[in-house]
Structure 1
């Protein structure tokens, strides 16, 4: 009976150990997938970096977890760069260890011309005065209205920051509103003025759009070449976005401190730009025969 109880006790301990190991492996695998998904966004977050460093130390002390992590990395190498293959080879053949393991070693940096805009990056703000003169500033993408105004005028005045579209519709922005420049519509501009000058603001000439068609300039171009250039640029803007920006956009960026949707807004801005370009060109073409030819060309560009 005593031997039987000892056997049961041992079996319970083994089952608990197996359960604990299985749970740890699931956690490590989940963290690896988390890093693969958010990649550079986590790399820019000091809290996430500290957490991953602590976890790395824990994993390196358990050979069973470290071997599982190596296997997980090995499964990803088909889609990673050659330098990652070399790293895994050295790791698997005893030339490296998890002590030098980097969670972000397999995260690829964007290679296009349009790099992702991160929350700490600076963008160009163009602010207009009532007389249509402008001033440009390099400010962080998530700068608030209060911070924009403080960099232009002395605090305590009656100045306001106004967003105005091509129709002359004015919206006075709240002081705690952030990332206002990247969220501007296609024909919207920012104006800085006193409270008494708001009703006197008028749209810029450039906001009214072109008054002449450019069909004669590009009608000699091959539709395939135009489509290729449009697609290449759109693809770079698309790949600069991250899936989580859609979450921020739907639920509200203000609910996620430090988050940015600048890349998503840039892509939407580009979509509207191309859309209105097509509509504008068609409307500016008064000759019905040329308009039919123009529509045919746009259809060819879309069909390529």
Structure 2
């Protein structure tokens, strides 16, 4: 039972509840409120008469975290079967609950540009330093680490050379527009994919990966982010577009990942110079999309299908003519799920049949919430439109329903370390003009 009177009170009246009671009263509180709380301290509730000492904080930045203090009732007390779990919530950040993988050592997606139009997307911890990032990049690209430096390029055109122990995500680097990996001797941005042999080697490596293992690695990556999304993030994202993004970190991260997977599919296909290898790549991506659907990862499934349907890839008529008939049929069946007609009826019917846990296509869910919000007034004659709030709550509640099954299990599976390392560091070209130029270079216009 809880209500808001300036502070937060929570009382557990049943010993069967694992989460107990919390009551924080300051000396300046009026006596009526104190008497009100004392009257509620009945059987099954424990009341802290003196709560002046809070839990000690281990670091200066810990005011944004959730602290837990477990008080066990005396074993000889009548309430010995009850335990009180007190949560002290920060007054600044009590809007969001801690869920899933959100920890102090949180992981973020880092973009390191290796050309002016392409970058590697890498999952690193928030406190990563330049030396660690360079080491990971050197191993990924198979180049000596001693020849590389990390340069932060700001939007006005300024350049900042990061020292080995400089933190990449620090307060001093917030104005940075991009992170570039450069060579020490030339001081220019690397262009590692200009050699045709490098392109062939890249394609061979992708073709050597097992499609099911790739789908598992993609799903594990997406699930790590999706499981940490709180329902309130969708509300913040829809209602407070201009608010601070700290309330929608996980949601925006998964949306960004969806775009990156789509660009990754386009990049892999358009960087393949040989027709026969390009046909094999498209066949491989069709199988990966089917496996993602089988693993109930609709977010990544949509990203792969959209990557194959983009104009720069779909215009490669000579390549698509070489695709076997059974793969064309499979791709056509997968396309029907992404058909937007009748308000994505095919996707909605297919998604309803899937058992939890599952990952929905988040852009469509956000579209539904936005349509409810903008299509209905919040107030009617100075009265709250509860029907609108109920519709939004039903849409938002889908996140919680998808995150766990009836046994509380997730969707993660054991994946190959080699494949997972490849998926964690995706090489992406995000310039649409460059992608179209690559497409016309592979198959010029007649």
The two structures have a TM-score, normalised by structure 1, of: 0.43
Higher Cα Rg, which structure: 1
The two structures have a TM-score, normalised by structure 2, of: 0.31
Higher share of residues assigned strand:
2
Higher share of residues assigned helix:
1
